[in-house]
Amino acid sequence: MKKLIIIPAYNESANIEKTVRDIEENAKGFDYVIINDCSTDNTREICEAKGFNIVNLPINLGIGGAVQTGYQYAVRYGYELAVQVDGDGQHDPQFLKQMADYMENHDVDMVIGSRFIEKEGFQSSFMRRVGITYFTGLIKLCTGKKITDPTSGLRMAGRRVIRMFADSYPKDYPEPESVVSALRKGCVVQEIPVVMRARQGGESSITMKKSVYYMIKVTIAILMEVMRGGKRV
């Protein structure tokens, strides 16, 4: 089974080499592609000097556009599983085999790695946990499905979801909206417990102002998705 790790990266020069080396050591059997979202630091130069597999976007598309590019790459090269692993070192690749085994042994379309099932490791800041709890409730209200970690970027998709996300994927802060979209289209989404780490270097692009914008925008996007109605794929 062909398995791909999608690594969206924007200004991750402090983390990207460690992230790739961690994957090479702890995610045997997975290929990877770095989607460089027009970084303004030397992320590209580091990757090219080290010979990493990289796609360089000519303009900044944002996290959604970068991840969608990864899914399009997966479709083009015939991957059966694709998993997002952020370039900041927070996602531990040791859990990828467990996620892939779960996908292979259960009839599911997507598996999300959740920090909040066993509540171990890095749990994010208090304000972000408030937002996560809010989106858990909103998604349950809209879909009937409880997702404990709806903002987790560590999610693995099978072929059905790969094709769906390659065709259409939210542009900004896509995780909660994309989960709702998958559920509304009849996809089976499950979670398994994982342990995440604090950002390994650099600074998060999420500020307090962006957090408020995030809450409002994603809420509106989820409600619009519900109003449109899901079309099964």
Compute the distance between CA of residue 164 and CA of residue 78 in angstroms, rounded to an integer. Answer: 14
Give the pTM.
0.89
- Give the pLDDT confidence score for residue 177 in this predicted structure: 94
Q: Using CB atoms within 10 Å of the CB of residue 58, give its burial: 0 to 12 exposed, 13 to 18 middle, 19+ buried.
A: exposed
Residue range 29-45, pLDDT digits in tens? 999 999 999 999 999 99
- Homologous superfamily assigned to 3-228: Spore Coat Polysaccharide Biosynthesis Protein SpsA; Chain A (3.90.550.10)
Q: 232 falls in which pLDDT band (50, 70, 90)?
A: low
- Give the pLDDT confidence score for residue 228 in this predicted structure: 80
Q: Could you tell me the residue ranges of all domains in the chain?
A: 3-228
Residue range 62-96, pLDDT digits in tens? 999 999 999 999 999 999 999 999 988 889 999 99
DSSP alpha helix (H) spans, 27-61: 43-50
Q: Are strands 155-157 and 110-114 parallel, antiparallel or unpaired?
A: antiparallel
Hey, which residues does 111 pair with through a beta bridge?
A: 156, 190
43 token code pair: 């992320």
